[in-house]
Chain A
Amino acid sequence: MNFEINWALVAPLLVIQAILMIIALFDLTKTEKTNGPKWMWVLIVIFINTLGPILYFIIGKKHS
């Protein structure tokens, strides 16, 4: 990349992604059971940005 990114502009995006990830991880530490192994969800939430936490919230949480 040889063009200037205005970081002040992009920062909110990164902040939102970070919040989503933190909430998902926080929820993961509190819930006992998830659909599928927990470590897998931790990896998904950390490594797939935005989509990972969303996927976790929609299909990862077990609704009892």
Chain B
Amino acid sequence: MELLEVKSLTKSFGKHVAVNDLSFSIEEGRCVALLGANGAGKTTTLEMLASLQKPTNGSISFLSVEKRDYREYIGYLPQYPVFFPWMNAIEYLVLMGELSGLSKSKAVARANELLELLGIADAKKRKIGGYSGGMKQRLGIAQALIHEPKLLMLDEPVSALDPVGRREILELMKLLKETTTILFSTHILHDAEEVCDDVIMIHKGELAVTASLSELRRKHQEDVIIISADENLDAWAGSIENWNIVSKVISTNNKIEIYVKNVAEARNLLLVEITEKKLPITKFTVGQTSLEDLFMEVVGR
């Protein structure tokens, strides 16, 4: 079922058009990544979806109803979450829970549950003013989840975190996506590839690509075999270039990247070739190109 549908969403600040004619939809139960470089318009888009900014143009429908107040169904983590520094985590979460429509007792129970889930339960009685950036990010996610929203929107949830924290939040998102629809923005393709099902790439406020990850992989991903060796193999690399199973060969230093059409077959042929010619290889890797190239293509236009 379609949870959210956006039609030609546009936002301009004076003459500057931050988001231009954006249309996409989000299916219930999916995890969607909103990808774009700095200044692409991710935050502006998400704030419009969270009804924090009024679109200059275009429409947003939630569960097929246009122009409704659907705030009770969404949880939102801003890019730079802020809190009341004089409150402690429990007080803050209970406040946000009650404002989301929970009863006091339900809010307290949820707050404790979430603090436990996010690993900041130890600090729950401390003033938020004294929290570290990572703790604030976690508390920000907790307040977004307090009322079990149908749609969770996270604006760059991991950008401000260290590698360990990043890992933990990505794992948490994998867990959450089992029960909640997630829309999150990032400028790091790798994060998107790891957790999401669908990708929406925007560039300078315009929609560049929208597709499921598997679709993108099928269309844009190639199998590649990477061979490293002790000596320069440029001559040999040249000789395999016109095999009809090979689409492209890139040879740099002592490393050769061979883009192939059929991995299984190519692997066997190459292994035979290597043994026959007694090539001094040190490493033989079979893999796939990442979507990085596609991303760079879109962003670098």
Q: Does A29 contact B (CB under 8 A)?
A: no
Q: Which residue of A lies closest to B86 (CB)?
A: A64
Over the window 8-25 of chain A, the binary record of Cβ atoms lying under 8 Å from chain B Cβ atoms (1 yes, 0 no) is 000000000000000000
Considering only residues 49-101 of chain B, those with a C-beta below 8 Å from chain A are 85
How many A-B contacts if CB must be within 8 Å?
Answer: 3
Chain B residue contacts of A64, Cβ below 8 A: 85, 129
A32 CA to B85 CA, complexed, in Å: 12
- A22-64 contacts to B (CB < 8 Å): 32, 64
A11 to chain B, nearest CB (A): 33
* Residues of chain B with a CB closer than 8 A to A32's CB: 129
Those of B175-203 within 8 Å (CB) of chain A: none
Q: How far is the CB of A32 from chain B (nearest CB, A)?
A: 8
B residues 116-141 with Cβ under 8 Å of A? Answer: 129
Q: How far is the CB of B93 from chain A (nearest CB, A)?
A: 19
Residues of chain A with a CB closer than 8 A to B85's CB: 64
CA distance A64 to B136 in the complex (A): 14
**B85 to A: closest C-beta gap in Å:** 5
CB B92 to nearest CB in A, in angstroms, measures 14
Shortest distance between the CB of A45 and any CB in chain B (Å): 20
A64–B80 Cα gap in the complex (Å)?
14
| Residue of B with least CB distance to A31 | B129
Give min CB distance, B267 to chain A, whole Å. 59
CA–CA, A64 and B131, complex, Å: 13
Contacting A at CB under 8 A, from B233-283, are none
State the CA gap A52–B176 with chains docked (Å).
52
List, in ascending order, chain A residues with CB within 8 A of B129's CB: 32, 64
Task: Provide the bound-state CA to CA distance between A14 and B85, in Å.
Answer: 33
Complex Cα spacing A32 to B86, Å: 12
Find the B residue at minimum CB distance from A63.
B85
In the bound assembly, the distance between CA atoms of A59 and B301 in angstroms comes to 51
Minimum Cβ distance to chain B for residue A41 (Å)? 18
Q: How far is the CB of A58 from chain B (nearest CB, A)?
A: 17
What CA separation (Å) do A64 and B85 show in the bound complex? 7
- In the complex, how many angstroms separate the beta carbon of A61 from the nearest chain B beta carbon? 10
Q: Considering the chains assembled together, what is the distance between the CA atoms of A32 and B131 in angstroms?
A: 13
CB nearest to A30 among chain B residues? B127
Q: In chain A, what residue has the closest Cβ to B84? A: A64
**Considering the chains assembled together, what is the distance between the CA atoms of A32 and B129 in angstroms?**
10
A63 CB, nearest partner CB in chain B, Å: 9
Rounded to whole Å, the gap between the CB of A16 and the closest CB of chain B is 25
Residue of A nearest to B127 (CB): A30
Q: How far is the CA of A18 from the CA of B21 in the complex (A)?
A: 63
Q: Within the complex, what minimum Cβ distance (angstroms) separates B82 from chain A?
A: 9
Minimum CB–CB distance for A62 against chain B, Å:
10
User: In the complex, A64→B83 CA distance in Å?
Assistant: 9
* B83 and chain A: residue at smallest CB distance: A64
Within 201-233 of B, Cβ neighbours of A (below 8 Å) are at none
| Shortest distance between the CB of B258 and any CB in chain A (Å) | 56
In the bound complex, CA of A64 to CA of B129 (Å): 9
A13 to B119, CA, bound (A): 50
Nearest CB on B from A50, distance (A): 25
Closest chain B CB from A5 CB (angstroms): 41
On B, residues with C-beta under 8 Å from A are: 85, 129
What are 3 contact pairs spanning A and B, CB under 8 A?
A32-B129, A64-B85, A64-B129
The 3 tightest CB contacts between A and B, nearest first, are: A64-B85, A64-B129, A32-B129
